[in-house]
Amino acid sequence: MSSQYLSNNYVEETRFGFWFLRSHTWQHHVLRVAINDLRSLFTEPLPVAPVLLDAGCGQGKSFQYLQQVFAPQRLIGLDADPHSLELCHAEAARQGLAIELIGSDCATLAVPDESVDILFCHQTFHHLVEQHRALKEFYRVLKPGGYLLFAESTEAYIDTWVIRWLFRHPMHVQKSAEEYLQMLREQGFEFGPQNVSYPYLWWSRSSDFGLLERWGLRNPPPVGQREETLVNCVVRKPLESAAP
Protein backbone atom coordinates (compact mmCIF):
# COMPACT_ATOMS: atom_id res chain seq x y z
CA MET A 1 0.00 0.00 0.00
CA SER A 2 1.59 3.23 -1.13
CA SER A 3 1.88 6.26 1.16
CA GLN A 4 2.53 8.63 -1.74
CA TYR A 5 -0.03 11.12 -2.98
CA LEU A 6 -0.94 9.66 -6.34
CA SER A 7 -3.09 11.95 -8.42
CA ASN A 8 -4.38 15.38 -9.26
CA ASN A 9 -7.11 13.90 -11.48
CA TYR A 10 -9.79 13.89 -8.81
CA VAL A 11 -11.19 16.52 -6.47
CA GLU A 12 -10.65 15.73 -2.81
CA GLU A 13 -13.45 15.79 -0.27
CA THR A 14 -13.98 18.56 2.25
CA ARG A 15 -13.47 17.82 5.93
CA PHE A 16 -17.21 17.41 6.27
CA GLY A 17 -17.29 15.06 3.30
CA PHE A 18 -14.48 12.95 4.72
CA TRP A 19 -16.34 12.68 8.02
CA PHE A 20 -19.62 11.88 6.26
CA LEU A 21 -18.06 8.91 4.48
CA ARG A 22 -17.60 7.30 7.89
CA SER A 23 -21.13 7.96 9.12
CA HIS A 24 -24.01 5.56 9.70
CA THR A 25 -26.09 7.49 7.18
CA TRP A 26 -23.49 6.88 4.46
CA GLN A 27 -23.15 3.19 5.28
CA HIS A 28 -26.79 2.29 5.88
CA HIS A 29 -28.78 4.71 3.71
CA VAL A 30 -26.36 5.17 0.81
CA LEU A 31 -23.89 2.29 0.36
CA ARG A 32 -26.10 -0.58 1.53
CA VAL A 33 -29.09 0.64 -0.48
CA ALA A 34 -27.04 1.18 -3.63
CA ILE A 35 -25.39 -2.26 -3.51
CA ASN A 36 -28.72 -4.00 -2.98
CA ASP A 37 -30.25 -2.04 -5.85
CA LEU A 38 -27.34 -2.86 -8.16
CA ARG A 39 -27.71 -6.54 -7.27
CA SER A 40 -31.35 -6.38 -8.39
CA LEU A 41 -30.35 -5.02 -11.81
CA PHE A 42 -28.53 -8.19 -12.87
CA THR A 43 -30.53 -10.10 -15.46
CA GLU A 44 -28.10 -13.03 -15.57
CA PRO A 45 -26.59 -15.15 -12.77
CA LEU A 46 -23.85 -13.47 -10.80
CA PRO A 47 -20.26 -14.45 -11.57
CA VAL A 48 -19.14 -17.20 -9.19
CA ALA A 49 -16.24 -16.31 -6.89
CA PRO A 50 -15.40 -13.18 -8.89
CA VAL A 51 -12.44 -10.87 -8.76
CA LEU A 52 -14.11 -7.66 -7.57
CA LEU A 53 -12.51 -4.22 -7.78
CA ASP A 54 -13.91 -1.32 -5.75
CA ALA A 55 -12.66 1.70 -7.73
CA GLY A 56 -12.63 4.70 -5.42
CA CYS A 57 -13.17 2.64 -2.29
CA GLY A 58 -12.85 5.61 0.05
CA GLN A 59 -12.61 4.42 3.64
CA GLY A 60 -13.66 0.84 2.92
CA LYS A 61 -17.19 0.98 4.28
CA SER A 62 -18.44 -0.90 1.19
CA PHE A 63 -16.28 -3.96 1.78
CA GLN A 64 -18.64 -5.82 4.13
CA TYR A 65 -21.63 -5.35 1.80
CA LEU A 66 -19.70 -6.35 -1.32
CA GLN A 67 -18.49 -9.48 0.47
CA GLN A 68 -22.01 -10.40 1.59
CA VAL A 69 -23.70 -9.82 -1.77
CA PHE A 70 -21.08 -10.97 -4.31
CA ALA A 71 -18.85 -13.38 -2.33
CA PRO A 72 -15.67 -12.50 -4.26
CA GLN A 73 -12.62 -14.74 -4.20
CA ARG A 74 -10.52 -11.56 -4.43
CA LEU A 75 -11.68 -8.19 -3.19
CA ILE A 76 -9.51 -5.27 -4.28
CA GLY A 77 -9.88 -1.73 -2.98
CA LEU A 78 -8.42 1.09 -5.05
CA ASP A 79 -8.15 4.76 -4.12
CA ALA A 80 -5.86 7.68 -4.87
CA ASP A 81 -5.90 9.07 -1.32
CA PRO A 82 -3.26 7.58 1.01
CA HIS A 83 -5.12 8.41 4.22
CA SER A 84 -8.28 6.72 2.93
CA LEU A 85 -6.27 3.59 2.16
CA GLU A 86 -4.96 3.54 5.72
CA LEU A 87 -8.53 3.66 6.99
CA CYS A 88 -9.46 0.91 4.52
CA HIS A 89 -6.80 -1.31 6.02
CA ALA A 90 -8.22 -0.75 9.50
CA GLU A 91 -11.80 -1.31 8.28
CA ALA A 92 -10.86 -4.61 6.61
CA ALA A 93 -9.18 -5.74 9.84
CA ARG A 94 -12.31 -4.87 11.84
CA GLN A 95 -14.45 -6.87 9.43
CA GLY A 96 -12.03 -9.78 9.29
CA LEU A 97 -11.76 -9.49 5.51
CA ALA A 98 -8.81 -10.23 3.25
CA ILE A 99 -8.49 -7.11 1.09
CA GLU A 100 -5.88 -6.12 -1.47
CA LEU A 101 -5.37 -2.36 -1.46
CA ILE A 102 -3.94 -0.39 -4.37
CA GLY A 103 -2.98 3.27 -4.44
CA SER A 104 -3.97 4.39 -7.92
CA ASP A 105 -5.89 7.00 -9.85
CA CYS A 106 -8.97 5.79 -11.73
CA ALA A 107 -7.70 7.41 -14.93
CA THR A 108 -4.52 5.29 -14.82
CA LEU A 109 -5.49 2.09 -13.03
CA ALA A 110 -2.57 0.06 -11.70
CA VAL A 111 -4.47 -3.12 -12.60
CA PRO A 112 -3.68 -5.65 -15.40
CA ASP A 113 -5.78 -5.89 -18.58
CA GLU A 114 -8.85 -8.15 -18.43
CA SER A 115 -8.26 -9.19 -14.81
CA VAL A 116 -11.52 -8.13 -13.11
CA ASP A 117 -14.97 -9.78 -13.17
CA ILE A 118 -16.90 -7.02 -11.37
CA LEU A 119 -15.90 -3.37 -11.05
CA PHE A 120 -17.84 -1.40 -8.45
CA CYS A 121 -17.83 2.39 -8.91
CA HIS A 122 -20.10 4.05 -6.38
CA GLN A 123 -20.33 7.84 -5.99
CA THR A 124 -16.76 8.17 -7.29
CA PHE A 125 -17.19 9.24 -10.89
CA HIS A 126 -18.43 12.75 -10.14
CA HIS A 127 -15.15 13.42 -8.30
CA LEU A 128 -13.04 12.55 -11.35
CA VAL A 129 -11.73 15.24 -13.66
CA GLU A 130 -10.81 12.85 -16.49
CA GLN A 131 -13.99 10.83 -16.65
CA HIS A 132 -13.54 9.49 -20.19
CA ARG A 133 -10.04 8.23 -19.41
CA ALA A 134 -11.31 6.54 -16.26
CA LEU A 135 -14.14 4.82 -18.10
CA LYS A 136 -11.70 3.59 -20.74
CA GLU A 137 -9.56 2.18 -17.95
CA PHE A 138 -12.59 0.44 -16.42
CA TYR A 139 -13.27 -1.17 -19.80
CA ARG A 140 -9.64 -2.24 -20.15
CA VAL A 141 -9.35 -4.03 -16.81
CA LEU A 142 -12.67 -5.87 -17.07
CA LYS A 143 -12.65 -9.38 -18.50
CA PRO A 144 -14.82 -9.95 -21.59
CA GLY A 145 -18.30 -10.43 -20.15
CA GLY A 146 -17.32 -8.59 -16.98
CA TYR A 147 -19.65 -6.16 -15.23
CA LEU A 148 -19.35 -2.51 -14.27
CA LEU A 149 -21.63 -1.56 -11.37
CA PHE A 150 -22.07 2.17 -11.81
CA ALA A 151 -23.89 4.29 -9.22
CA GLU A 152 -23.78 8.06 -9.46
CA SER A 153 -25.35 11.30 -8.36
CA THR A 154 -26.31 13.52 -11.27
CA GLU A 155 -25.69 17.19 -11.94
CA ALA A 156 -29.22 17.95 -10.71
CA TYR A 157 -28.09 16.86 -7.24
CA ILE A 158 -24.44 17.94 -7.27
CA ASP A 159 -25.26 21.46 -8.47
CA THR A 160 -27.40 22.44 -5.47
CA TRP A 161 -26.58 24.92 -2.75
CA VAL A 162 -26.36 22.40 0.06
CA ILE A 163 -24.01 20.06 -1.81
CA ARG A 164 -21.84 22.93 -3.06
CA TRP A 165 -21.62 24.20 0.51
CA LEU A 166 -20.74 20.90 2.19
CA PHE A 167 -18.76 19.06 -0.51
CA ARG A 168 -16.31 19.75 -3.31
CA HIS A 169 -16.62 18.52 -6.91
CA PRO A 170 -15.31 19.40 -10.40
CA MET A 171 -18.47 21.12 -11.58
CA HIS A 172 -17.49 21.31 -15.25
CA VAL A 173 -17.73 17.50 -15.66
CA GLN A 174 -21.06 16.86 -13.92
CA LYS A 175 -23.67 15.10 -16.05
CA SER A 176 -27.34 14.16 -16.20
CA ALA A 177 -28.44 10.54 -15.85
CA GLU A 178 -28.87 10.19 -19.62
CA GLU A 179 -25.46 11.76 -20.28
CA TYR A 180 -23.81 9.19 -18.00
CA LEU A 181 -25.67 6.37 -19.75
CA GLN A 182 -24.64 7.71 -23.14
CA MET A 183 -21.01 7.80 -22.03
CA LEU A 184 -21.25 4.14 -21.04
CA ARG A 185 -22.78 3.23 -24.41
CA GLU A 186 -20.10 5.11 -26.31
CA GLN A 187 -17.38 3.27 -24.42
CA GLY A 188 -18.86 -0.01 -25.66
CA PHE A 189 -20.71 -1.33 -22.61
CA GLU A 190 -23.92 -3.27 -23.18
CA PHE A 191 -27.09 -2.84 -21.14
CA GLY A 192 -30.84 -2.43 -21.48
CA PRO A 193 -33.58 -0.58 -19.59
CA GLN A 194 -33.90 -3.53 -17.22
CA ASN A 195 -30.32 -2.92 -16.07
CA VAL A 196 -30.91 0.72 -15.08
CA SER A 197 -32.68 2.31 -12.13
CA TYR A 198 -33.30 5.89 -11.09
CA PRO A 199 -33.50 5.95 -7.27
CA TYR A 200 -35.27 9.02 -5.95
CA LEU A 201 -34.05 8.76 -2.40
CA TRP A 202 -34.80 11.29 0.32
CA TRP A 203 -31.17 12.33 0.81
CA SER A 204 -30.77 13.12 -2.91
CA ARG A 205 -33.44 15.83 -2.86
CA SER A 206 -31.70 18.77 -1.27
CA SER A 207 -34.72 21.08 -1.61
CA ASP A 208 -36.74 19.29 1.10
CA PHE A 209 -35.05 15.88 1.60
CA GLY A 210 -38.35 14.21 0.76
CA LEU A 211 -40.10 15.54 3.86
CA LEU A 212 -43.36 16.40 2.07
CA GLU A 213 -43.66 12.83 0.81
CA ARG A 214 -42.81 11.30 4.16
CA TRP A 215 -45.46 13.50 5.75
CA GLY A 216 -47.96 12.33 3.15
CA LEU A 217 -48.43 15.81 1.67
CA ARG A 218 -47.52 14.77 -1.90
CA ASN A 219 -46.51 11.80 -4.02
CA PRO A 220 -43.11 11.70 -5.70
CA PRO A 221 -43.24 12.49 -9.42
CA PRO A 222 -42.74 9.38 -11.60
CA VAL A 223 -39.71 8.65 -13.77
CA GLY A 224 -39.92 10.82 -16.88
CA GLN A 225 -41.64 13.66 -15.03
CA ARG A 226 -38.78 14.66 -12.76
CA GLU A 227 -35.13 15.61 -12.98
CA GLU A 228 -33.25 12.49 -11.90
CA THR A 229 -30.85 12.90 -8.99
CA LEU A 230 -29.35 9.40 -9.10
CA VAL A 231 -28.64 6.72 -11.67
CA ASN A 232 -27.65 3.12 -10.98
CA CYS A 233 -26.81 0.64 -13.72
CA VAL A 234 -25.21 -2.73 -14.29
CA VAL A 235 -23.43 -2.71 -17.65
CA ARG A 236 -21.41 -5.44 -19.31
CA LYS A 237 -18.28 -5.56 -21.43
CA PRO A 238 -19.13 -7.64 -24.53
CA LEU A 239 -17.71 -11.14 -24.68
CA GLU A 240 -16.01 -10.32 -27.98
CA SER A 241 -15.24 -6.71 -28.75
CA ALA A 242 -12.57 -4.09 -29.02
CA ALA A 243 -12.66 -0.92 -26.96
CA PRO A 244 -13.60 2.19 -28.98
Give the model confidence (pLDDT) of 131-154 as tens digits.
Answer: 999 999 999 999 999 999 999 988
Give DSSP secondary structure letters for 191-225. Answer: --GGGEE----GGG-TTTTTHHHHTTS-PPPPTTS
Report the residue count for the chain.
244
Superfamily of 15-236 according to CATH: Vaccinia Virus protein VP39 (3.40.50.150)
Break the chain into its structural domains and give their ranges: 15-236
Chain mean pLDDT for the chain: 83
**What is the CA angle 204-132-203, rounded to 5?**
5
What's the rounded Cα separation, in Å, for the pair 35 and 65? 7
* Residue 4 pLDDT: 38
Share of the chain above pLDDT 90, in %: 56
Please determine, for residue 8, whether its predicted confidence score (pLDDT) is greater than 60: no
Residue 17 has pLDDT above 60, yes or no: no
pLDDT of residue 228: 80
Average pLDDT score over residue span 13-37: 76
22 or 229: whose pLDDT is higher? 229
- The enclosing H or E element of 181 equals helix 177-187
Give the confidence band of 164 by pLDDT, cuts at 50, 70, 90. low
Q: Quickly list DSSP for 40-84.
A: HT--SPPPSS-EEEEET-TTSTTHHHHHHHH--SEEEEEES-HHH
Instruction: Give me the pLDDT at residue 203, please.
Output: 56
Of residues 161 and 1, the one with the higher pLDDT is: 161
pTM, entire model: 0.84
pLDDT at 235: 98
| Low-confidence winner among 37-41, 81-85, 215-219 (lowest mean pLDDT) | 215-219
Range among 17-26, 94-103, 195-204 with highest mean pLDDT value: 94-103
**Position 217 pLDDT exceeds 90:** no
Average pLDDT over residues 95-124: 94
Mean pLDDT on 64-75: 97
